[in-house]
Amino acid sequence: MEAILTVRDLCKTFSNESIQQHVLKNLNLQVMRGDFTVIMGNSGSGKSTLLYALSGMERPSLGSICYGSEEISRYSNDQLALFRRRHCGFVFQQNYLNDTMSVLDNIMVCGLLAQKDRKALAPKAKARPWVIRRGS
């Protein structure tokens, strides 16, 4: 089976008022194509930091992140933006919907970055089983 994601010796350190906080220390991870992987841990254990690093939203302090054969941890900011557009999807804890747009338009925003044809994209967005829960 082929590894789709390989992480080697990943470290992420933040500085706050000259105090170093080591959130990820020498993490090694391999996700195989077709695997279902769950990231679990206590609040503050580094789950979000890890996911941000894996998607290129945070740069690692040390170590490497490879998607297939490409080491994305060496990508430029523009390359990372294209990588995220093509390969990553996030559901954030916070509500990042634009209140001035309809639900459909909020869903279509990301698709419009990759496909400029709104008429072709709309049926795809409407066909998805989107679930909207208020107050949760």
- What pTM was estimated for this model as a whole? 0.70
Residue 84 has pLDDT above 80, yes or no: yes
Examine the domain organization and report whether 50 and 106 are in the same domain: no
Instruction: Tell whether 71 and 13 lie within a shared domain.
Output: yes
> Mean per-residue pLDDT for 95-109?
79
Give the Cβ contact number of residue 125 at 10 Å: 19
The percent of residues in the chain predicted with pLDDT above 90, rounded, is: 48
More confident residue, 45 or 105: 45
Q: What is the count of structural domains for the chain?
A: 2
Residue 109 falls within a domain, yes or no? yes
The pLDDT confidence band at residue 16, using thresholds 50, 70 and 90, is confident
Identify the domain containing residue 125 by its residue range. Answer: 91-136
Give the least confident one: 64-68, 81-85, 93-97: 93-97
The predicted structure's pLDDT at residue 135: 47
Cα separation of 88 and 103, whole Å?
20
The DSSP 8-state label assigned to residue 93 in this structure reads: S
What does the pLDDT look like over 48-69, one tens digit per residue?
A: 999 999 999 999 999 999 999 9
Q: Residue 17's domain is classified under what CATH number?
A: 3.40.50.300
User: Contact, 41 vs 14, CB < 8 A?
Assistant: no
**62, 102: one domain:** no
